Structure formats: C-alpha cells, structure tokens
Amino acid sequence: MTDEITLPADDLLAFATALFRAAGVPNDDAAVVAESLVDANLRGHDSHGVVRVWDYLRQIEKGEVVAAVELRVLAETAAMLAVDAQLGFGQVQMQRVIDRLVPKARELGTATGTVVNCGHVGRLGEWVERIAAMGLAGLMAVNDNGVLQCVAPPGGVSPRISTNPIAIGVPTGGEPLVLDISTSTVANGKVKVAYLAGKECPAGWLLDHEGNPTTDPAVRFKDPRGTILPMGGEADGYKGFGLGLLLDILVGGLSGGFCPPAPPDAPGTNNVLLTVWDPLRFAGMEHFVAEADKLLAHVRGTPRKEGVDAIRLPGDRSRAVNAERLRDGITLDGKSWKRMREAAEGLGVAIPVFE
C-alpha cells in the first residue's frame, strides 16, 4: 500500500518505549513491553508487534491493564506455582514467572506454573525460547479467559473457543528449536493486521457467519461475525479444534480463569499454563542435545522435491526475517502508523521523523 512506512528497528523501539512511559508505565517495564513487541515484528510476527501499542494504551486508560503491579502468589510448592498477575502487563509478568519457575525445575527436574488475570503475553515463542536458551525445555499454552471466541467446531457456524496457542521450546547444540502455533488455522491477530491494512486474507482462513469460505477479514470484527477455521481446515479441523478444546480446559481449569462462555463481567485477559523440564535431571543434557541434533540433521537431509531448495524447520523463517528486517527496517501499514502518531500527539510524545 502507498501509505506503508518502513522504520529502523531501534527507532521504532525508542518510540514505542516513549509512548508507554508517557502513559505512566515505569521505565523498565515500558522497555520490556516495547522490546517484546518490536522483537515480534523483527521475527515476522506482525500480529504480535507494535500493532498492539494502540490496544495496550487503550487498555491502560480503561484500567484493563495496570502498570507497576506485582505477582500475587495463590499457591506454591517445590514443583508448582500459581499466581495472579493482577492485570499486569503480560510481558513483564511472564519474565517474573519464569524467574521463579526455573530454579524449581533445576532442583526437581520439572516445575509447572499457572497465571490468571494476565495482560496479553505477546508471542508465546519468546518465553519458551528464553527457557530453552537456559538449557531447559518448556511448554506453554494460553487461553483468553473465555471472553474471545473466534473458532467454531467443525460443522458449526458460531464461534465457541479462541485460537488457544501452544509453544514448545527445546535446547539443541545450536540455537533453541521453537514451535509456536495457534490451534486455529491462523492467529486472530493476523486477521486483524490484514483488516487494518485493508488487505484480504488468504483462502482457507475464514468462514462468514453462514459458514461460507471468505477472504474478507471484516467478518471477524463486524456483525454478523464469522469464524476462523481450526487448524486442519475444513477437512481435518476436528484435530485442531480438539487440541484447542483440551488446552482451553487445562489452562482455564488449572489457572482459576474461565473457559467459554465467560461471565458477562469477565476481563478479556490471558490465562497461562507453563511447564519447564530440566533434561539434566532425566537422561542427561548430553543425551538430550545429541538426540535433538541427530534428528534435526536427519530431517534437514530429507530428499527434496524438484524446486525445493531446503527443508524448513521451525524457526528458520523467523531467523531469516529477523536478519532482513534488522537490515532493511520494519514496515507498518498506514493505519497502524497513524494510530501510533495519534497516540503520540495525545501523550505529548515527539513523533520520529524518518527519511
């Protein structure tokens, strides 16, 4: 689009940080949130990038997200931790949860934590990658407290669950291996990015309110509402929907949050389930890494179809996009950039001037 703008990552990070600070977020927390969003853009996950700045600022105004709150421990043993994030920023609270869970996992071999009443945690892959970089393995799942419903069961035309993502990160002999997926065909945020940019979605993402395939992202944000297809699409969607269904129950049920349908006054927060394992306490780190590296080499060595240059593994695209965007900058659609400028004007923050 002609109104797109490309910005250097460092300048975009400084601008986003300044917006949060002007909105009353403590300096360190503002930097944590902004860095998480810009990193998502750098990795190619624009749905979890600075497009969220506008939403977060509105949530602060409404009291739906609260700056400068601590974790409140609800229950704790040597191997588990249940906390209330008290509507704090998800990125800030997830760092604190990981800092408390990792020592437990190192001591006992495994530890599980739950979080209720948490602000949007951002890209799940960020957190399991952080864990894997410490030589541990992590599995994380999130639901939307029963409030956001955008995925219908196969054969249905009314949404019943959210996109309910899951992420797994493991250490290897090189960089961590991270899988971060929605149990729907696509994350709701990616549909929103297309909607804000005035672009159509690819075929196979959406159904309208009558259950007909559509590429119009507006069906998710205007009544009558359409739905996002579960992972597997129309043919095998029962697999993705089933996984999303069970994760919803585990996350909502264990955290103390809600599964759909939520009570009318329930906040649209994230609830989190996170389990960490220390391979050292099981078969040993040497065995774990050796088996991981052997399998990765075996998969990359798969004979390829004509025209396929390489076998792609989780994280390959993200690393390539990261290098490209660090070099060339991050491109935002015109509407997202307009929203950031309007927020800056309202908060008295200087708007960067880009060549």
4-25: pLDDT as tens digits: 899 999 999 999 999 999 999 9
Q: How confident is the model at residue 221, as a pLDDT?
A: 93
97-129 burial by CB neighbour count: b if 16+ within 10 A, else e? bbebbbebbbeeebbbbbbbbbbbbbbbbbbbb
> Where does the chain hold its CATH 3.30.60.50 domain(s)?
186-228
Q: 255-301 pLDDT, tens per residue?
A: 999 999 999 999 999 999 999 999 999 999 999 999 999 999 999 99
Report pLDDT for 353: 80
Residue 276 corresponds to which tokens in the numbers above? 């960490």
Please, where in the chain does CATH 1.10.1530.10 lie? 1-68+322-355
SS3 for 100-114 is HHHHHHHHHCEEEEE
**pLDDT at residue 1 is higher than 80:** no
Which helix (H) or strand (E) segment is 227 a member of? strand 227-228
**Res 165 pLDDT > 60:** yes
Which architecture, in CATH terms, is 1-68+322-355? Orthogonal Bundle (1.10)
Burial of 253 (0-12, 13-18, 19+ CB in 10 A): middle
What is the average per-residue pLDDT within 57-75?
A: 97
3: confidence class by pLDDT, cuts 50, 70, 90 = confident
Rounded CA-CA distance 181/186 in Å is 8
Looking from the CA of 81 toward its CB, the CA atoms found within 13 Å total: 25
Question: What are 31-48's pLDDT values in tens digits?
Answer: 999 999 999 999 999 999
Q: Which residue has the tokens 């992590």?
A: 138
- Length of the chain in terms of residues written: 355
Cα–Cα nearest to 209, from 168, 150, 126, 268: 150
Quote the pTM value: 0.95
* Residue 204: CB atoms within 10 Å: 13
Q: Is 179 helix (H, G, I), strand (E, B) or coil?
A: strand
> Mean per-residue pLDDT for 199-226?
95
Strand segments, DSSP code E, in 67-220 are: 72-76, 80-84, 110-118, 137-143, 166-170, 177-181, 206-207, 213-214
pLDDT tens-digit readout, 98-142: 999 999 999 999 999 999 999 999 999 999 999 999 999 999 999
| Average pLDDT taken over every residue of the chain | 96
**Kind plus residue range of the DSSP H or E element containing 189:** helix 188-197
Three-state secondary structure call for residue 176: coil
CATH no., domain 186-228: 3.30.60.50
Assess whether pLDDT exceeds 70 at residue 2: no
Q: Is the pLDDT of residue 354 over 80?
A: no
Please compute the mean of the pLDDT values over residues 312-323 and round it to a whole number: 96
pLDDT of residue 184 exceeding 60: yes
Look at residue 240 and tell me whether its pLDDT is greater than 60. Answer: yes
Averaged pLDDT for residues 250-258: 98
Q: Give yes or no: 120 in active site.
A: yes
Q: Which of 120, 209, 287, 298 is catalytic?
A: 120
Residues 6+ apart with CB under 8 A from 69: 85, 86, 87, 88
Instruction: Kindly list the distances between the CA atom of residue 240 and the CA atoms of 214, 229, 313, 329, in Å, as whole numbers in the listed order.
Output: 20, 9, 20, 35
DSSP 157: S
Note the pLDDT of residue 177: 98
CATH number of 70-182+236-300: 3.30.1370.60
Longest CA–CA span in the chain (Å) reads 58
Q: Do residues 142 and 167 make contact, with C-beta atoms less than 8 angstroms apart?
A: no
Q: How far is CA 27 from CA 67, 218, 220, 295, 303, in A?
A: 11, 36, 35, 43, 51
pLDDT tens by residue, 327-345: 999 999 999 999 999 999 9
Intervals of CATH 3.30.1370.60 along the chain: 70-182+236-300
